[in-house]
């Protein structure tokens, strides 16, 4: 079907794609960061914020690269793009993050299940991107793979622990699954600027489903027939092209408040 993905992308496609990768990491980091000093126990507070730090680091690498590409391709001597201007001064419609990253943190079940879905997606994506003909995307991907595997170990453990835990934890995981599932389809449905980036989305989805279903089965979250039901769920989309949920404005208000109120503030 899509065995030989095209690699003939334009600079504008590369910029949009790089921003998309940066935005998804940044927005999920912002959401996970809400747990700082609020997680159930201290060790897990440290765990989720450490994962957040890795996501911010990865997003910075992508933003720095996007800024470099933008500055090389436009003549704006007095208005240089920087990693900070891209994160703090773009408007909602310019953000290209996946919708799943902007959903509320919810309870701990929703937080760990989202991280689990996202990390498996990231791992599959980075494993393909490490062979990108773009050397910088490949370098960022290789650097991020080891971090992502570690996040995956942590979130898989939590899916097993809560899914196959008490009645209460299991109910919460099932509720999280019902909330989140409709946002997973967007990961595997390429938009216009992704088509030529050399990503095999069919393969990406296949690998993701295989791993995710296996862990969810062990966690007793899937019964016979559930997969057919999941496959029939209507999938939400829009984040990658800037059409967001009502949550997005609130996130940006929080994230961008300081730089918009005190432009250029630093410490």
Partner 1 sequence: MNNTGNKFSVASSKLPTEAEVAVWNILETVPDPEVPVLSVLDLGIVRDVKVESPSADYPKGLASITITPTYSGCPAMDAISMDIRMRMMEHGYGKVNIISVLSPAWTTDWMTESGKQKLAAYGIAPPAHSNVEGAPVICPQCQSDNTKLLSQFGSTACKALYQCNDCKEPFDHFKCH
Binding site for partner 1 (CB under 8 A): 43-44, 46-47, 50-51, 53-58, 60-61, 135-136, 138-140, 142-144, 146-147, 150, 153-154
* Pick 33 or 198: Cβ nearer partner 1: 33
* Pick 14 or 99: Cβ nearer partner 1: 14
CA distance linking residue 110 with residue 162, whole number of Å? 11
* Pick 136 or 169: Cβ nearer partner 1: 136
How many C-beta atoms lie closer than 10 Å to residue 73's C-beta? Answer: 12
How far apart are CB 143 and partner 1 at their closest, in Å? 4
How many C-beta atoms lie closer than 10 Å to residue 8's C-beta? Answer: 10
How far apart are CB 251 and partner 1 at their closest, in Å? 19
CA distance linking residue 61 with residue 88, whole number of Å? 15
How far apart are CB 199 and partner 1 at their closest, in Å? 20
* Pick 60 or 90: Cβ nearer partner 1: 60
CA distance linking residue 97 with residue 244, whole number of Å? 9
CA distance linking residue 153 with residue 157, whole number of Å? 6
How far apart are CB 215 and partner 1 at their closest, in Å? 17
How far apart are CB 88 and partner 1 at their closest, in Å? 17
In degrees, rounded to 5, the angle at the alpha carbon of residue 58 between the alpha carbons of residues 57 and 60 is 65
* Pick 98 or 152: Cβ nearer partner 1: 152
* Pick 53 or 89: Cβ nearer partner 1: 53
In degrees, rounded to 5, the angle at the alpha carbon of residue 90 between the alpha carbons of residues 84 and 91 is 150
Residue count of the chain: 267
Assess contact for 81 and 66: CB atoms under 8 A. yes
Residue 91 structure tokens: 């408007």
How far apart are CB 203 and partner 1 at their closest, in Å? 23
Residue 259 structure tokens: 């730089």
């Amino acid at each position: 079907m899509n065995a030989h993905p095209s690699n003939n992308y334009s600079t504008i496609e590369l910029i949009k794609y790089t921003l998309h990768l940066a935005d998804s990491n940044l927005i999920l980091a912002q959401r996970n960061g809400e747990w700082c000093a609020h997680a159930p126990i201290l060790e897990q507070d440290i765990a989720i914020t450490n994962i957040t730090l890795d996501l911010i680091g990865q997003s910075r690498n992508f933003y720095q690269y996007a800024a470099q590409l933008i500055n090389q391709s436009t003549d704006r001597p007095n208005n240089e793009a920087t990693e900070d201007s891209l994160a703090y001064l773009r408007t909602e419609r310019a953000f290209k993050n996946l919708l799943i990253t902007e959903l509320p943190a919810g309870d701990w079940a929703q937080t760990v299940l989202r991280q689990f879905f996202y990390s498996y997606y990231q791992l599959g994506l980075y494993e393909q991107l490490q062979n990108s003909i773009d050397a910088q995307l490949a370098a960022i991907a290789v650097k991020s793979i080891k971090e992502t595997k570690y996040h995956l170990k942590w979130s898989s453990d939590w899916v097993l622990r809560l899914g196959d835990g008490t009645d209460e934890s299991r109910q919460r995981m099932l509720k999280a699954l019902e909330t989140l599932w409709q946002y997973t389809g967007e990961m595997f449905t390429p938009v216009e600027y992704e088509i030529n980036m050399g990503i095999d989305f069919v393969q990406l989805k296949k690998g993701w489903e295989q791993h995710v279903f296996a862990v969810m089965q062990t966690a007793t979250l899937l019964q016979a027939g559930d997969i057919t039901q999941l496959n029939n769920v209507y999938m939400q989309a829009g984040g990658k092209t800037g059409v967001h949920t009502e949550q997005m404005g609130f996130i940006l208000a929080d994230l961008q408040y300081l730089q918009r109120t005190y432009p250029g503030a630093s410490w």
